[in-house]
């Protein structure tokens, strides 16, 4: 292409425009935020610059005649099992710019997906199925630290619970909305998440961008996050939600902190994050006041003091090699809930190398954490939340069977409101209006529609979970938790089966 | 009566409303034919854009329509039953008095035909075409 | 309850529709001097030009009178009003009793005392019959002179020119369209008319209509110039046709004076339209503003008040929209301000025949004039009607991208919420 580096011609996608169907309405020109569609005034024709296409499909979705198809660029490199085209193109890019490769959303590499190698049981003959349309089917559960034993005294022939419980969060579905910061996504998405959480009786997480003033009214369904940058954290913020989550790490980029470029820090974000407008928002890798497990315990109890011990404290870690030992330490440090974020977790911006190569699958991390805590006899001290690439209700069921109390969904929630996983969130040009705070683009998320779609998704998954539970002869989600007997592996080796703690199918 | 109301906060300026209006009021009601073969007539709503703000302006089908008061040929009439204000093209003489009178500026001159065109709330549809086509629910058809 | 309306113009229709909003039962009688169903007088120029046919003229559908229980007395002229006996007396002897009466007799052409005006070949241009007479001249005569360079005169000139006559227009003021438009606008239109072959003479007047054997042969102007012609059309303007109130004691000034409820000084008698002197929105005074929408609205409010719904008329706004040979022109409010205290902003592109003018007083928009670029002009009319202070965004209003976005957010939101 003229006036561009020659490597631009190795672009990933081509835009096929059917001339019979194109009515030159220019909706694609208006809707593409990357400038891939251009209107040629002289010829009165829409043309394209395919080097700019990121494969987000916005144009294809809105074209009123269906004239557009986005395809993989058929221009192919010679087959090479080692040098897949993406590696080649990444080198071109770095040779051009000298920069760090950035990307958005979750790890797309073909590492094994263990959800797809585990299957569920169903009742046949013995232990009959339960029909969720006729029998009560309990999806509700409670997140929080459970005591080692409960004490009951009899009063007038009736049992009376005398144990004092730590604060518990009742959640109507074992599904929560994961942390996505205000700044990486825009306020309209947050409003949709908050309203859907309210309607469903579940929770959403503010992420590390603070809590916008207009969302305080959804406090009953909000988990506020306290991350290493401490953006937006003050006593009002800490008391605004029903729980506080200390973010130690994130599945997509374990070991490093967050980064929101200064251009994306406008007035509202500046106020909410409590930082100056236009200055980069960089969260450091460690919390600079947490350098040991004792420091973590100190912070956990500082937060509990600040909130009168009324709110459970969550600790979120990325799934890494020694997750089991780390989780054990966190449970003993006084956390009420441990959230583990696997390496498939999404992000608004991360260096590609870290996102694609650091961290371990959530299935393995979850299983090993649950097993370790049970072995040490402290499993009851925390609830476990699994996160990082939960794609469907079957993944939720399998996660709970492996030991989770509930799951966090992030990517799935954004897909529900329109995301097509083009992985360009870091540009701030999200044409779906999700990962951007450009006022022109942000309007593309109508909070009412977002609310409706998110609620639809969770309700639909809820029905499916009920069907699967009933099929297994269970009538409560708590009967599934850690019930590894309900899972069987398919095509897994002995080591994998051991770590997951499940048998192979047929055995 | 139900009218079309626009939400400035969620309008994305895609102009699919204009396209839907043109197709609905075309002869063939087929989008490809309407745009490629038939003579192009303007859409009956006005999409305004000002920086990141955009919204669509539609005939308000006023209770006391200035366009009806000013029309010298009786082409602009308010249906007493439905409340809709419509322009009878056979009677319109293109004096543009209604263009001068409408405080929303939603009456357009079709200089090819020498007549005006104006939103008629799509009498052949349950839901006006523009409302149905908006991908972000920025147009509402309701009574207020 | 008997409603009687003298006159069958747009004010009468407005009155019928106004009455029927409240009172669907009681009978209405319209006494119409002309033998036709209501038609828009401005349309006679289109008729003369051949752009429309007589069948298209009716302002309301045929079924209108029947559907609204109106007895239509066509071709009968009301001569006097017997206030004591509450009766309208017709020329042919008929007597029409009333409980509520509306005088909507409209305007009659103003005929100045020109020497030679009496006799054949001198016409006016206000009614359908007038158009018929001029239509009959086409093909029979070659040259015609129009006295009066106002809206009526020029529309007649345009029509006659298109039908093949050689037309000369004589205007007293220093420009054509002197009431509604200014010198700049007048020049643009004047040039366009000249291009089309019409001779326009300004700052002059016809001193004498020259006859030979009683037939018109030509005219003599004040400065001595002569023109030959075989017919003359006097189209200077209309004056309120208020003769009917003689002997009734109804107060008149230039027109029949009415209050905010369109009622005259005599209870039970109302007036509306070109004959009435009613509230003018911008000046706050009572004025005769013979504009089509004012006539309709006054008729509507008169009807409502006659039927017992007490609703105050908020006042009329002068406005005109007319196209001359492809150039659309519009004038709203005080587009030609006299005196001090007005801020005037203009934009002129003579090569494109585009002119825009805004008139402000104390920052409030009071008048506008548009030539050529007229899209969405109604937005300006709305601002004038609502006395909006526009000083902070007046530049936006001057652009051809005039839009509701030009208005401050609160004003726009309030408008669009309706």
Query: Are both B40 and B83 inside the same structural domain?
Result: no
Cα–Cα separations (whole angstroms), residue C363 to A100, A215, C182, C286: 57, 41, 21, 24
Q: Which of C234, C251, C270 is the last residue of a domain?
A: C234
Number of domains chain B contains: 2
Q: Which of B10, B11, B26 to mutate against chain A (most A CBs within 10 Å)?
A: B10
Which residue in the block uniquely carries the two structure tokens 């500082």?
Answer: A302
The alpha carbon of A505 is separated from its chain's Cα centroid by a whole number of angstroms, namely 30
User: Are residues B81 and B35 located together in one domain of the fold?
Assistant: no
Residue A4, both tokens: 């561009």
Alpha carbon distance A500, C21 (integer Å): 80
Contacts of A65 in chain B (CB under 8 A): 31-32
Q: 3-state DSSP call for residue A205? A: strand
| CA atoms of C318 and C100, how far apart (whole Å) | 28
C197 — alpha (psi -120 to 50), left (phi > 0) or beta? left
Q: Would you tell me how many other CB atoms lie within 10 Å of the CB of residue A177?
A: 26
CA distance C106 to C418: 34
Write down the pLDDT at residue A1: 64
Q: Find the CATH number of the domain harbouring B88.
A: 3.30.70.20
Q: Which residue carries 């408008």 as its tokens?
A: C415
How far apart CA A314 and CA A331 sit, in angstroms, is: 10
Taking the CA of residue C281 and the nearest CA in chain B, the distance in Å comes to 15
HSE, side-chain direction, 13 A CA sphere, residue C372: 19
Give long-range contacts, CB 8 A cutoff, 24+ apart: C395-400. C397/C358, C397/C365, C398/C345, C398/C347, C398/C356, C398/C358, C400/C373, C400/C375
Q: How many residues does chain C have?
A: 418
Contact C377, C368 (CB under 8 A): yes
pLDDT at residue A431 in the model = 96
Nearest CA among C416, C308, A217 for reference residue B105: C416
Residue C418 scores a pLDDT above 80: no
Query: Within this chain, do residues B107 and B129 fall inside the same structural domain, yes or no?
Result: no
Q: Which of B10, B32, B52 sits opposite A440 (nearest CB)?
A: B52
Q: Where are the beta strands (DSSP E) in A141-211?
A: 141-143, 152-155, 158-161, 169-171, 175-179, 204-205
Q: Is A448 on the interface with B (CB under 8 A)?
A: yes
Question: Same domain for C63 and C206?
Answer: no
CA dist., res. C43 & res. C58, Å (int): 10
Q: Are residues C15 and C56 in the same domain?
A: yes
In a domain, C320, yes or no: no
Residue C87 lies in a domain: yes
Touching B: C residues 351-410, CB under 8 Å: 374-379, 381-383, 385, 402-405
The Cα B132–Cα A418 span in angstroms is 19
Map tokens 């005398």 to a residue: A162
CA pseudo-torsion sign C55, C59, C62, C65: negative
- B16 and A448: CB-CB below 8 Å? no
CA-atom Rg of chain A in angstroms = 24
Hey, are the CB atoms on B35 and A23 less than 8 Å from each other? yes
Token code pair at residue C137: 């001249």
Neighboring chain B residues of C319 at a CB cutoff of 8 Å: 70, 97, 100-101
Region C81-101: mean pLDDT is 93
Tell me if B133 and A64 make a contact (CB, 8 A cut-off).
Answer: yes
Q: Which CATH class, in words, describes the domain spanning A6-99?
A: alpha beta
Q: What is the pLDDT of residue A326?
A: 96
- CA C380 – CA A476 distance, rounded (Å): 67
**Cβ within 8 Å of B, C 298-317:** 300
Per the CB < 8 A criterion, the answer to whether C369 and C381 are in contact is no
* Residue A15, Cβ density class (10 Å: 0-12 exposed, 13-18 middle, ≥19 buried): buried
The answer on C102 and C138 residing in a single domain is no
Classify residue C313: in a domain, yes or no.
no
Q: Six-digit token pair at B4?
A: 């079309």
Residue A155 neighbours by CB under 8 Å, 6+ apart: none
Nearest CA in chain C to B71: C293
From residue A140, give the alpha-carbon distance in Å to each of A136, A367, A385.
11, 22, 14
Residues B1 and B18 placed together within one structural domain of the fold:
yes
Residues of C in contact with B6 (CB under 8 A): 416
Contact residues on chain B for C403, CB-CB shorter than 8 A: 46, 48, 50, 105
Where along chain A do its domains lie? Answer: 6-99, 141-504
Contacts of B15 in chain A (CB under 8 A): 25-27, 30
How many B/C residue pairs have CB atoms within 8 Å? 117
Largest CA distance in chain B: 41
B19 and B67 assigned to the same domain: no
**A140 touches A202 (CB < 8 A):** no
Q: Which residue of A has its CA nearest to B136?
A: A446
Confidence label for C69 from pLDDT (cuts 50, 70 and 90): very high
Q: Is the pLDDT of residue C241 over 70?
A: yes
- Whole-number Å distance between alpha carbons of B139 and B58: 10
With the CA atoms of A424, A429, A432 and A436 taken in that order, what torsion angle do they form, in degrees rounded to the nearest 10?
A: 100
CA distances from C71 to C36, C67, C268, C304 (A): 13, 11, 20, 19
CATH number where C407 lies? 3.30.390.30
- The length of chain A, given as a count of residues: 507
Which segments of A369-444 are extended strands (E)? 383-387, 406-409
Q: In this structure, are residues B98 and B106 in contact, taking their beta carbons and an 8 Å threshold?
A: no
Distance in angstroms (rounded) separating the CA atoms of residues A316 and A339 = 4
Nearest to B69 among C51, C296, C415 (CB): C296
Q: Do chains B and C touch (3 or more CB pairs under 8 A)?
A: yes
Contact C203, C175 (CB under 8 A): no
| Residue after which a domain boundary falls, among C234, C264, C297 | C234
Enumerate neighbours of A (3 or more CB pairs within 8 A): B
Give pLDDT, residue A4: 82
Q: What is the DSSP letter of C83?
A: T
Instruction: Specify if C321 maps to a domain.
Output: no
Q: Is the pLDDT reported for residue C253 higher than 70?
A: yes
CB contact under 8 A, C377 and B49: no
Helical segments of C78-127, H only: none
Q: Is A295 exposed, middle or buried (0-12, 13-18, 19+ CB in 10 A)?
A: middle
- Tokens read off for A458: 């969770």
Q: Which two tokens stand for residue C106?
A: 């409209």
Helix A393-402 vs helix A447-471: crossing angle, to nearest 10: 60
pLDDT of residue A436: 93
Q: CATH number of the domain at B140, please.
A: 3.30.70
Interface test with B, best of C317, C404, C408 (most B CBs within 10 A): C404
The owner of tokens 């000013």 is: B70
User: Could you tell me if C72 lies within 8 Å of chain B, comparing CB atoms?
Assistant: no
Distance (Å, whole) CA A200 – CA A177: 11
SS3 A365: helix
Rounded CA-CA distance C97/C84 in Å is 11
The first and second tokens of residue C165, run together, are 């006559």
Query: Neighbours of C (≥3 Cβ pairs closer than 8 A)?
Result: B
Q: How many CA atoms lie within 13 A of C161 on its CB side?
A: 22
Q: C169 - beta bridge partners?
A: C146, C200
Q: Which of A18, A19, A20, A25 to mutate to test the interface with B (most CBs of B within 10 A)?
A: A25
Range of the domain at C95: 3-108+239-306
Q: What is the pLDDT along chain A (507 residues), one digit of tens a residue?
A: 678 888 888 999 999 999 999 999 999 999 999 999 999 999 999 999 999 999 999 999 999 999 999 999 998 899 999 999 999 999 999 999 999 999 999 999 999 999 999 999 998 887 889 998 899 999 999 999 999 999 999 999 999 999 999 999 999 999 999 999 999 999 999 999 999 999 999 999 999 999 999 999 999 999 999 999 889 899 899 999 999 999 999 999 998 888 787 777 888 889 999 999 888 888 888 888 899 999 999 999 999 999 999 999 999 999 999 999 999 999 999 999 999 999 999 999 899 999 999 999 999 999 999 999 999 999 999 999 999 999 999 999 999 999 999 999 999 999 999 999 999 998 989 999 999 999 999 999 999 999 999 999 999 999 999 999 999 999 999 999 999 999 999 999 999 999 999 999 998
Task: Tell me if C311 is assigned to some domain.
Answer: no
* Cα–Cα–Cα angle for A347, A356, A8, rounded to 5 degrees: 90
- Partners of A448 on chain B (C-beta within 8 Å) are 10, 137
**pLDDT tens-digit series, residues C144-180:** 999 998 888 898 999 999 999 999 999 998 888 888 8
What's the confidence (pLDDT) of residue A83? 95
| Alpha-carbon separation of residue A496 from A343, C295, C411 (angstroms) | 17, 90, 67
Same domain, C104 and C249: yes
Residues from chain B that touch C374, judged by Cβ atoms under 8 A, are 96, 99-100, 109
Strands (E), A192-237: 204-205, 222-226
Residue C216 lies in a domain: yes
Residues of chain B found within 8 Å of residue C60, distances taken between Cβ atoms: 74
In Å, how far are A27, A180, A201, A398, C94 from A141, measured between CA atoms? Answer: 46, 23, 11, 16, 92
Determine C/A contact with 3+ CB pairs under 8 A as the test: no
**Tokens linked to A88:** 């080649």
Query: What residue of B is the nearest CA neighbor of A23?
Result: B35
| CA dist., res. C115 & res. C197, Å (int) | 28
Instruction: Looking at the structure, tell me whether residues C362 and C397 fall in a common domain.
Output: yes
Coil/strand/helix, residue B25: coil
User: Bridge-partner residues for C290, per DSSP?
Assistant: none
Give the CATH superfamily of A141-504. Aldolase class I (3.20.20.70)
The reply to whether C262 and C203 lie within a common domain is: no
- Phi and psi at residue B93, in whole multiples of 5°? -110, 5
pLDDT tens digits along B32-45? 999 999 988 899 99
Domain CATH for C292:
3.50.50.60
The shortest CB-CB distance from B31 to any of A65, A440, A446 is to A65
Pairing of strands C343-349, C327-333: unpaired
Query: Does residue B2 sit in the same domain as residue B46?
Result: yes
Cross-strand pairs, A46: A39
Whether C140 contacts chain B with CB within 8 A: no
Q: How many domains does chain C have?
A: 3
Residues 6+ apart with CB under 8 A from C409: none
Cα distance between residue C225 and residue C123, in whole Å? 22
Domain that holds residue B27: 1-58+123-144
């Amino acid at each position: 292409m003229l006036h561009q580096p020659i490597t631009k011609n190795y672009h990933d996608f081509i835009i096929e425009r059917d001339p019979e169907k194109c009515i030159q309405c220019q909706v694609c020109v208006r809707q593409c935020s990357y400038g891939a569609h251009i209107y040629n005034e002289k010829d009165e024709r829409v043309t394209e610059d395919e080097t700019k296409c990121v494969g987000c499909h916005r144009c294809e979705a809105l074209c009123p005649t269906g004239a557009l198809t986005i395809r993989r660029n058929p221009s192919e490199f010679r087959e090479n099992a080692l040098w897949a085209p993406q590696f080649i193109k990444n080198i071109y890019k770095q040779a051009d710019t000298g920069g760090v490769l950035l990307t958005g959303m979750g790890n797309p590499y073909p590492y094994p997906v263990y959800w797809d190698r585990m299957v569920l049981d169903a009742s046949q003959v013995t232990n009959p199925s339960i029909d969720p349309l006729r029998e009560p089917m309990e999806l509700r559960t409670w997140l929080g630290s459970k005591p080692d034993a409960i004490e009951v005294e009899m009063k007038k022939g009736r049992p009376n619970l005398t144990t004092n419980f730590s604060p518990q969060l009742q959640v109507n579905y074992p599904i929560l909305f994961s942390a996505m910061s205000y700044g990486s996504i825009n306020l309209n998405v947050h409003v949709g998440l908050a309203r859907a959480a309210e309607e469903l009786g579940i929770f959403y997480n503010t992420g590390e961008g603070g809590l916008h003033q207009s969302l305080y009214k959804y406090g009953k369904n909000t988990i506020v996050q306290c991350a290493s940058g401490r953006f937006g954290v003050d006593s009002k913020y800490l008391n605004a939600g029903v729980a506080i989550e200390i973010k130690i790490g994130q599945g997509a980029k374990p070991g490093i902190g967050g980064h929101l470029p200064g251009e994306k820090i406008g007035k509202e974000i500046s106020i909410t994050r409590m930082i100056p407008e236009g200055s980069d928002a960089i969260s450091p890798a460690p919390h600079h006041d947490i350098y040991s497990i004792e420091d973590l315990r100190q912070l956990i109890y500082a937060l509990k003091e600040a909130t009168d011990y009324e709110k459970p404290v969550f600790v979120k870690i990325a799934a890494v090699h020694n997750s089991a030992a780390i989780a054990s330490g966190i449970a003993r440090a006084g956390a009420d809930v441990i959230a583990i974020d696997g390496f498939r977790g999404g992000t608004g911006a991360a260096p590609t190398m870290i996102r694609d190569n650091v961290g371990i699958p959530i299935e393995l991390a979850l299983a090993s954490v649950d097993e370790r805590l049970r072995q040490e006899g402290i499993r009851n001290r925390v609830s476990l939340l699994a996160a990082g690439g939960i794609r469907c209700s079957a993944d939720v069921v399998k996660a709970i069977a492996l030991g989770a109390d509930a799951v966090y969904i992030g990517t799935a929630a954004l897909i529900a409101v329109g995301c097509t996983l083009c992985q360009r969130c870091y540009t701030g040009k999200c044409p779906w209006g999700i990962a951007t705070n450009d006022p022109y683009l942000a309007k593309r998320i109508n909070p009412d529609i977002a609310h409706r779609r998110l609620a639809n998704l969770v309700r639909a998954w809820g029905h499916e979970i009920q069907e699967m539970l009933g099929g297994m002869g269970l009538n409560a989600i708590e009967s599934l938790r850690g019930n590894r007997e309900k899972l069987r592996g398919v095509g897994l080796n002995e080591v994998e089966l051991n770590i997951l703690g499940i048998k192979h199918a047929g055995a | 009566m139900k009218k079309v109301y626009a939400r400035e906060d969620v309008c994305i300026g895609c102009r699919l409303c204009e396209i839907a209006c043109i197709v609905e009021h075309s002869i063939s009601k087929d989008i490809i034919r309407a745009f490629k073969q038939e003579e192009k007539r303007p859409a009956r709503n006005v999409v305004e854009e000002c920086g990141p703000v955009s919204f669509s302006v539609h005939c308000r089908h006023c209770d006391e329509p200035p366009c009806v008061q000013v029309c010298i040929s009786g082409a602009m009439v308010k249906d007493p039953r439905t409340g809709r204000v419509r322009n009878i093209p056979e009677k319109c003489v293109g004096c543009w008095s209604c263009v001068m009178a409408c405080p929303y500026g939603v009456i357009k001159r079709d200089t090819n035909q020498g007549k005006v065109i104006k939103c008629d709330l799509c009498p052949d549809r349950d839901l006006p075409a523009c409302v149905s086509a908006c991908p972000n629910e920025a147009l509402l058809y309701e009574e207020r | 309850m008997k409603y009687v309306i003298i006159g069958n113009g747009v004010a009468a229709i407005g009155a019928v529709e106004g009455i029927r909003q409240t009172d669907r039962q009681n009978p209405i009688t319209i006494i119409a001097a002309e033998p036709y169903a209501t038609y828009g007088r401005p349309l006679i120029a289109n008729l003369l030009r051949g752009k429309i046919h007589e069948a298209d003229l009716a302002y309301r559908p045929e079924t209108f009178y029947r559907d609204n229980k109106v007895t239509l007395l066509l071709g009968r002229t009301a001569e006097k009003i017997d206030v004591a006996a509450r009766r309208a007396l017709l020329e042919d002897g008929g007597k029409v009793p009333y409980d509520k009466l509306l005088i909507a007799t409209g305007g009659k052409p103003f005929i100045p005392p020109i020497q030679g005006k009496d006799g054949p070949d001198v016409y006016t241009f206000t009614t359908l019959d007038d158009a018929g007479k001029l239509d009959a001249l086409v093909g029979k005569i070659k040259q015609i002179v129009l006295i009066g360079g106002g809206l009526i005169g020029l529309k007649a000139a345009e029509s006659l020119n298109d039908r093949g006559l050689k037309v000369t227009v004589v205007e007293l003021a220093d420009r054509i369209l002197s009431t509604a438009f200014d010198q700049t606008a007048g020049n643009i239109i004047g040039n366009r008319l000249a291009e089309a072959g019409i001779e326009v003479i300004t700052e002059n007047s016809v001193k004498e209509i020259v006859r030979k054997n009683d037939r018109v042969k030509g005219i003599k102007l004040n400065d001595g110039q002569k023109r030959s012609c075989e017919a003359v059309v006097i189209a200077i303007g209309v004056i309120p046709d208020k003769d009917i109130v003689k002997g009734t004691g109804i107060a008149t000034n230039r027109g029949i004076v009415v209050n905010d409820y369109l009622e005259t000084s005599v209870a039970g008698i109302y007036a509306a339209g070109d004959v009435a002197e009613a509230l003018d929105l911008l000046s706050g005074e009572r004025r005769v503003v013979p504009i089509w929408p004012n006539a309709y609205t006054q008729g509507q409010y008169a009807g409502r008040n006659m039927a017992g719904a007490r609703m105050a008329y908020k006042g009329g706004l002068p406005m005109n929209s007319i196209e001359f040979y492809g150039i659309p022109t519009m004038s709203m409010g005080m587009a030609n301000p006299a005196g001090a205290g007005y801020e005037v902003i203009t934009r002129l592109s003579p090569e494109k025949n585009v002119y825009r003018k805004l008139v402000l007083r104390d920052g409030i928009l009071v008048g506008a004039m548009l030539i050529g670029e007229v899209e969405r002009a109604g937005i300006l009319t709305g601002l004038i009607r609502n006395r909006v202070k526009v000083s902070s965004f007046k530049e936006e209003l001057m652009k051809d991208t005039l839009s509701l976005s030009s208005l401050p957010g609160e004003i726009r939101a309030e408008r669009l919420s309706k």
